Amino acid sequence: MTNILDFLNQVLFTFGSDHVTVAELAGFLTGAACVYLTVKAHIANFPVGLANSAFFLILFFSAGLYADSALQIVYLVLGAVGWWQWAYGGAGRTRLVVTQASSTELVVLVGVVAAATIPLTILLTSAHDIAPFWDALTAALSLAAQWLLNTKKVQTWYFWIAADAIYVPLYFAKDLWLTGIVYSIFLGLCVAGLRSWRAAYQGDTVVLGSVTPVPA
């Protein structure tokens, strides 16, 4: 499996230098599009996100970020589930609207992040991951964020912001410059997403997707 992914990234996906590959470039483009569509609460963020996960799966595995690589497989599954939830998870199998997560749900998610980070750090250390603690923490934060995204909760953005704030220096340290830049952009878009979804939840005149206003 390792040889196959290395071959794809280093041979098929080489893009003009040793540091930027087509996998990373495609991850940059699909990732930026995915976050932008999510900020707009457009359901098309899910198919674009599935493509993004496929590219990053190859890139991260080749870079030695094993938790991030495995996380992409989980994202592929959760992305497919989230796509269905946004389309049919509302009342009467209608589209979901933006809501707030309960205090209990948030406390549970924070506890899960903390609990999952410790054993995952130990596992990644034994697997010679290059940044086991930070890789484990960002993986746990991202899964919690994806859970809240799938259920269209405003608080998804807090978890994404926390994860991206760690991802940016981590990728720069690994010489994944393009990925570090795109995650810096993601961080700014996450702040915009938080403001947009808050306004949507509060019943302001915010247009989601193309023409559908958010119900109050």
Mind listing the pLDDT tens digit for each residue in 11-69?
444 443 444 567 778 888 898 899 899 998 899 999 999 999 998 888 878 777 776 78
Q: Is 44 helix (H, G, I), strand (E, B) or coil?
A: coil
**212 sits in which H/E element:** strand 212-213
The verdict on residue 17 lying in a domain is yes
pLDDT confidence of residue 3: 53
- Provide φ and ψ at 65, rounded to 5°: -95, 80
pLDDT value at residue 201: 86
Domain count, the chain: 1
Q: Is residue 164 part of a domain?
A: yes
Q: Is residue 10 part of a domain?
A: yes
pLDDT of residue 71: 79
Amino acid 81: pLDDT? 94
Domain span including residue 84: 2-211
Q: What is the mean pLDDT of each run of 10 residues along the chain (216 residues)?
A: 50 45 79 89 93 87 76 90 89 84 96 95 86 90 94 95 94 82 88 91 52 36
CA distances from 176 to 17, 18, 24, 48 (A): 12, 10, 8, 21
d(CA 156, CA 142): 9
Distance CA 33, CA 31 (A): 5
In angstroms, the CA 89 to CA 50 distance is 19
CA 112 to chain centre: 17
In a domain, 36, yes or no: yes
